Amino acid sequence: MVSATLKRWGTQIKGGAIHPLILPVFPVLSLYLNNLGQGFLSQAAPILVGVFTLSLASWVLIYALMKDRNKSALIVSTFFVLFFSFGHGLTVIRVVLEQLNLLDKLWFILYAQHARPFWTVIWVIFFIAITVLIVKRKRDLKKLTDVLNLMAVTLAVIAAGNFLLADGFRLYLQSATRLVTATIHGKVSESRTDHQPEIKYHAFLPFISKPEPSDPKNSMQFEQIWLRDFPATTTLPQQLPDIYYIIPDMYIRADYLTELYQCDTSDFLSALEERGFFIASESRSNYHLTAYSLASSLNYMYLNDPAEQVGDMSGHTLSAQMIQQNRIAVFLKSQGYTTIAFATGFWFTELEDANIFMEPPTTLQWLPGEFEAGAIKLTPLSAFSIFNQSRDEVYRQRTLYTLAHIPDATKIDAPTFTFAHILSPHDPFVFDAYGAPIPSRDSYSYEEHAKAYCNNVLHINRRLQEVVDKILSHSVKPAIIIIQSDHGACYGDYAEHINERMSNLNAYYFYDQRYDDLYPGITPVNTFRVVLNNYFGADYALLADISYYLPPNSNYGFVDVTDKVIGK
């Protein structure tokens, strides 16, 4: 019976419906194409195969029940189109409420605890209603089938065009090569996109996105731009110091914390000063995004030169390599240092070639990767708390694991360089002020954002103070500790709030208190210039402290916003 049904179904679709073979997979395919070069092949491929297989099996099953090729095809396409349009629908509702200035009053219909389950029920009712109409319709659906076939083919052509125009085949081969290589070696690593406040929204990609990537070959070609000019190490200290570079992500400077967030961190800063820290009270970041900021600080140079030569900074390929093959780590390795790094969840800040790379053992059976989480957000599956809980839990685990293991460097005999990019206080906000787990939310009013952000700052302050105390009490070697955020925080558009976005936490501990070259307005680009001059016999000139902003859709046109940032 099954074979007869399949044969009859195969005969009938000749010259008939083909849209159920294309429309169901198109949203996932679009998601992947908008993220080419991110290394998401290992996550996208199983989803694409699964969706295609499920849609095909559903079509065969429904046809076996209805004996109507066009109706069964329409039901399948309707289900999957609606399934992957769930997130878009909520986005449209949000935009409408914003345009009507009703979001503050009606926020609960989107963000209350049971909002997504409610809309899932509405979605189910809507799908059932459409299915009933299709089943009861007596007219032939041939014309509608032809329209849907044309639409499906058009979308497939557009996807293929985008794939080719984005140099997609080369990027696909690179992803496939990485996947095969990792599989052979028994590990499939997952690359990640940027975090949510640093995304753009696309028609088929409302939750994660990536601009067109730079050519990795170019970044390899221009590697000598930053891996050069190493200092002559003629006056090394008798005992090389352990160096800790700790980056709490999106930690805004204290004056803005007080002014904009009503968040008092004076106790934390006073505690650091009591332990011998120098606080750069007027510090600001050199760039407004993590990838650019860390690429600059770790290579103690501005990005203008490599950006102009490569000709594209719109993606993170160049800045990622500048982070992963950064000048300070390469130099310190040459001096006998052991490098230590941690899993972050952000592909461009994971130094997996460090001598010691640590990541937390997961306690959950399955945690969605960034691509999988983005796909889930498009669907009614996002109504089930297990998915959000998984995301929140992995975020907590990474944050707490890194904080707990930074002091492990004190147990190593060789001098160490520890690079610790900590996800907090960046959203999602999953801690209260005392570190208790709380569920994150997709959206906050300004007041809610300020409170949630402040709570995460207060939590990370307590944990950072514990880290500092453990390092200072357990270390038998001299220690240099740099606690420096990559950039500040803001609620809204970066360009409109550039002064607060650029104002960052910047605190230094030098074991001999040699702070003559530090000053209140020092920026991250000069951090390792001072360290190398003081402790490794270098003679780097300190650079002018400049803050740059890269406008949207600009390849490498960094704009100097220093005057605006300083003027507040």
15-27 residues labelled b (16+ CB within 10 A) or e (exposed) = eebbbbbbbbbbb
**The pLDDT of residue 372:** 81
Query: 484 has which bridge partners?
Result: 506
Name the one residue in this structure whose structure tokens are 């093959």: 325
How many separate helices (H) and strands (E) can be counted in the chain? 23, 9
**The pLDDT of residue 170:** 47
Cα four-point dihedral sign 279, 283, 285, 288: positive
Average pLDDT rounded to a whole number, residues 184-199:
34
**The pLDDT of residue 505:** 98
**Distance from C-alpha of 151 to C-alpha of 211, rounded to nearest angstrom:** 26
pLDDT over threshold 60, residue 5: no
**Torsion-angle region of 266 (φ positive above 0: left; ψ -120 to 50: alpha; else: beta):** alpha
Assign 169 a pLDDT band (cuts: 50, 70, 90).
Answer: very low
537 CB neighbour count, 10 Å cutoff: 14
In this prediction the pTM is: 0.67
Q: In what order do the strands lie in the sheet with 416-422?
A: 278-279, 506-510, 479-484, 242-248, 416-422, 338-342, 356-358
More confident residue, 312 or 492: 492
- Could you tell me what percent of the chain has a pLDDT over 70? 78
**Distance from C-alpha of 351 to C-alpha of 324, rounded to nearest angstrom:** 5
- pLDDT tens for 268-319 read 999 999 999 999 999 999 999 999 999 999 999 998 877 666 665 555 677 8
- pLDDT tens for 49-63 read 999 999 999 999 999
Average pLDDT rounded to a whole number, residues 151-173:
70
More confident residue, 347 or 2: 347
Among 104-113, 392-401, 470-479, whose mean pLDDT is lowest? 104-113
**Distance from C-alpha of 370 to C-alpha of 360, rounded to nearest angstrom:** 17
Assign 346 a pLDDT band (cuts: 50, 70, 90).
Answer: confident
**The pLDDT of residue 267:** 96
Helices 69-84 and 86-99 cross at an angle (nearest 10°) of 50
Average pLDDT rounded to a whole number, residues 504-513:
97
